[in-house]
Amino acid sequence: MNRFDVIVIGAGAAGMMCAAQAGQRGCSVLLIDHSEQIAEKIRISGGGRCNFTNKEVNWRHFVSANPQFAEYALAHYQPADFIRLMRKHHLSYTEKHKGQLFCDQKSQAIIHMLCAECHEGHVINWRPCKVYEISKNDSFFRVFTTQGEAIAQHLVIATGGLPVPKIGATDFGIHVAKQFKHSIVETAPALVPLIVRSQDWSLFSGLSGVGLSGRVSTSSAAQVFDEDVLITHQGLSGPAILQISSYWRSGDTLALNCSGYSSQADLLARLQERIVGSKASFQTLIIDLFAHWPKRFITAMLEAHQFNSLNNRKAAELGKSVLNQVSSTLYQWHIKPDATAGYAKAEVMRGGVSTADLCPKTLQSKHVPGLYFIGEVVDITGWLGGYNFQWAWASGVAAAKSVANRNNVLD
């Protein structure tokens, strides 16, 4: 019989961190993954340079039914702790946009580092290894796999979220949670491009690749993001859109303020100022006022909002209500996306195992002693910018400490 103190299922960011830390604290650990290639998401992250954390991380950077749940784990394993670990392995980093910390070496170096940490903790690896059943009696979990049966008093589920199924993502964690009667917060792709079909996107799809800077918000949430927006063939992407996608719900309208003006009143005042004594056409005036927008985008905006019939009219001849309408429309662009681009294109999953059933200090189940959920499978979803990895590290360490503290070694 293969007996361990703890079995960790999922050798990704959270699972490897948890296994290494539990092993180094004296636990016997079995780490199982169904893939030959472990931690694929670390490998492909950050454009190959893993945005492993952010300089400033707190629960406000997370989307959840209860984001404050993350506070304890994040406070007890901070970005500085991970940086210390990187230094131990002679890895360096560079700070980029908005406190995002990227590895100077390839992302693979982080995977090697976690493997070395697991090795130091004498972690046993089973992979590729499929788990086909889990059962529990009073004192231990029994895990049935393609490599045989293993038992342990602690079982950590670290199988991540649903994005990018082609590199091994599954809903295994959600199934285990349901098996043990945990509630699930509805899951959906997050940090994901948005698709626009219903509005006449054909006017914009030809502008694929055009970038704008601005503020984006969605009708059902108070959150706003000041970042870049990218027009794509099918809709919208770019950091601002990825961020807001975690808050976007079907039926919501996005408000995009890329005008560069401080308010609609400011834009209207500039419009009125410019037309006094001017012989310029409406189109010339708009091109002038929006010199920071690509001309092709201005043309599409005017056409999409049926202002193109005004193009050749003298701006000075336009009435106040028309100017009001133009300034309101161009100040804030309202778009109703139809869908997200789905799990194939998402960076994370929002929703997951409800935090209501987990202890925030340990990530242990409140109903099933010895069962833990860590990382992305939990209903804690970070913003873009290294927050998801910091949650993976921090939740992995919290569970490892708990497992080790209980010191329940099987005899």
Ligand X SMILES: Cc1cc2nc3c(=O)[nH]c(=O)nc-3n(C[C@H](O)[C@H](O)[C@H](O)COP(=O)(O)OP(=O)(O)OC[C@H]3O[C@@H](n4cnc5c(N)ncnc54)[C@H](O)[C@@H]3O)c2cc1C
Contacts with ligand X in 139-158 (CB under 6 A)?
158
For tokens 């789905």, what's the residue?
Answer: 342
Is residue 13 involved in binding ligand X (CB under 6 A)?
yes
Is residue 12 involved in binding ligand X (CB under 6 A)?
yes
Closest CA to 387 of 59, 19, 65, 3: 59
Choose, by CB under 6 A, the member of 64, 153, 159, 332 that binds ligand X.
159
At residue 221's C-alpha, the angle toward residues 217 and 227, to 5°, is 30
Give the integer Cα–Cα distance in Å for 371 and 293: 54
Q: Which is nearer to ligand X, 191 or 207 (CB)?
A: 191
CB of 278 to ligand X, least distance (A): 49
* Number of other residues whose CB lies within 10 A of the CB of residue 152: 25
Q: Which is nearer to ligand X, 61 or 331 (CB)?
A: 61
Closest CA to 333 of 210, 191, 209, 214: 214
Choose, by CB under 6 A, the member of 29, 38, 341, 397 that binds ligand X.
38
Q: Are 140 and 2 in contact (CB under 8 A)?
A: no
Structure tokens belonging to residue 184: 């699930």
Q: Which is nearer to ligand X, 157 or 285 (CB)?
A: 157
Is residue 388 involved in binding ligand X (CB under 6 A)?
yes
What are 3's strand-pairing partners?
Answer: 151
Q: Which is nearer to ligand X, 50 or 244 (CB)?
A: 50
Binding mask 334-373 for ligand X (x = CB under 6 A): -------------xx-------------------------
Q: Which stretch binds ligand X (CB under 6 A): 39-47, 256-264, 303-311, 335-343?
A: 39-47
Q: Are 194 and 337 in contact (CB under 8 A)?
A: yes
Structure tokens belonging to residue 242: 């990825």
Contacts with ligand X in 44-63 (CB under 6 A)?
44-46, 50-51
Is residue 210 involved in binding ligand X (CB under 6 A)?
no
Give the integer Cα–Cα distance in Å for 97 and 244: 18
Q: Which is nearer to ligand X, 238 or 375 (CB)?
A: 375
Amino acid at 179: Q
| Residues at the site binding ligand X, with contacts judged by CB under 6 A | 9-15, 32-35, 38-39, 41, 44-46, 50-51, 131, 158-160, 163-164, 168, 170, 172, 347-348, 375-376, 386-389, 392
